[in-house]
Structure 1
Amino acid sequence: MTDTTPPPPSAISPDGSLSAGWHTQLGEEFAPHAAQLGTFKNVAGLAKSYLHLRASGPVYPGEQSAPEDIARFHSLAKVPGEATPKAYGINVPEHISDTEKGIYDRIARIAHQHHVSGPGLAAVVGEYQKIQGEIIGGHEEQMAARAREAEDLLISRWGADFEPNKSTARHVISTLAGSAGIDLDDPYLGEMFDNPALALMALEFSRRTGEDPTRTPHGLSELKSPRQRAESIMSGSDPTWGRQYTEGNTEEKQAAYQEVMRLLNLAGR
């Protein structure tokens, strides 16, 4: 059966002119732009407008840019309306100091002055925060490894006297620190306690001066004995091996188990 339905009228006349309401044939998605599209009366005008847009396009704002041009660029580049970290979608950590939060404020302010895209800046800052976290994590792993090496060296020198000698060395160092007016919570002091050379010198100082070796300092983080370290791994509290021992894959658990065995061997089981 032949379809006798007449074809829809063409929006373009043979002379290139556009019929009245031609844009209504484009679909509902163009309805909000009916007023702008209605200004075009022929195909030539529509083509010229398109070519002009391609030639001029959105221009990066300069000092002489008109406010409407800047607003148009901001709209296309997704530059937020406010120069704040929140407007830029930047995740500012809650635990940082006011000084550090001020750095994020400065970054957002400078970014807005230079018309930086909101999603772009948020992605860059997020990646930088991730890199910082990786650096801090790597530093903590290095510190943990250094502490293990220091402990192993002292164990090899002191053997069964490791625990009493360790306590004596810490007592001497903390006593000298107190005499020098150094706060026992000073982070640099904590690092000194993991220095095997300093521990050996402190023990020798104690022997030469008759310093009471039985006193134990308080309020200081101590080097753990091999057995204590093995127990902390098995409990999952060790920062380096704990997670691998309790939650790691087969390969990670095997490596953590071997570390536990090494420590227990040093401790003489």
Structure 2
Amino acid sequence: MKTVWIVGGSTGIGLELAVQLACSGHRVIVSARNTSSLVQLIEQRDTLTDKLTTLQLNATDQSACIKVWQKINRLYGKVDWVFLNAAVYEPAPVIPFDQSKWKNIVHTNIDVVLNPLAAILEHPDFIPKQLFITASLAGYRGLPKSGGYGMSKAALINLAESIRPELAALDCRVRLISPGFVATRITAKNHFRMPALISVEEAAKQIIKKVNANSFEITFPWRFVIWIKILRLLPYRWFFLITKCMVKQ
């Protein structure tokens, strides 16, 4: 049995991941700004009561992250796995340009990872065995209409890559989770056809299946991952020919 902390688990992938891990016998602590949906779920599924608990947290508040992490260590001891999964999303085309929206997306999506990370690194004795940072396939290359979201996720990919060697020296494995399109409250805001869309149940299954793998990346679904990986390798001339067609759609 592992002790797991999920930051951003009241909806979407985080919620389903929390439920599936708890059902597998792990002790799961979920932190989110709004925990009411998770509390309702626990009440409906009595078998999870002793495996799944909630601690309210606004991860954009650094001092709050420190207090919650200290409370978790005090109540449960050393945590085995930490999932930094919180995020915000709004469709943000470049025309008309809404700078405040872009800045909010970027700052929020970076802060909700950096603040818990800072709290964790304050006490090296409690650093988890595995640290999972949720980015997105939208961060692998600049895609039209991805706005500040893609930019923020690209920053998180870079962060995970850069801290992995350093934290390995502290016996902590940094892992990167990069989903494609998953049917959540966030993606419901999109007004375009989302290729290879999968359910939150399938997304959580993919993460759990690879949680003990040796790989750095956890990416899915493969039929979309392959397309993005190809785009990542293309020279700019070919890449921009493809993205120009995406704008016209």
Structure (1 or 2) with the greater strand fraction: 2
TM-score bracket, normalised by the shorter chain, equals under 0.3
Question: Normalising by the residue count of structure 1, what TM-score does the alignment of the two structures yield?
Answer: 0.18
Point out which structure has higher relative CO (alpha carbons under 8 A, 6+ apart). 2
Structure (1 or 2) with the greater helix fraction: 1
Structure number with larger C-alpha Rg: 1
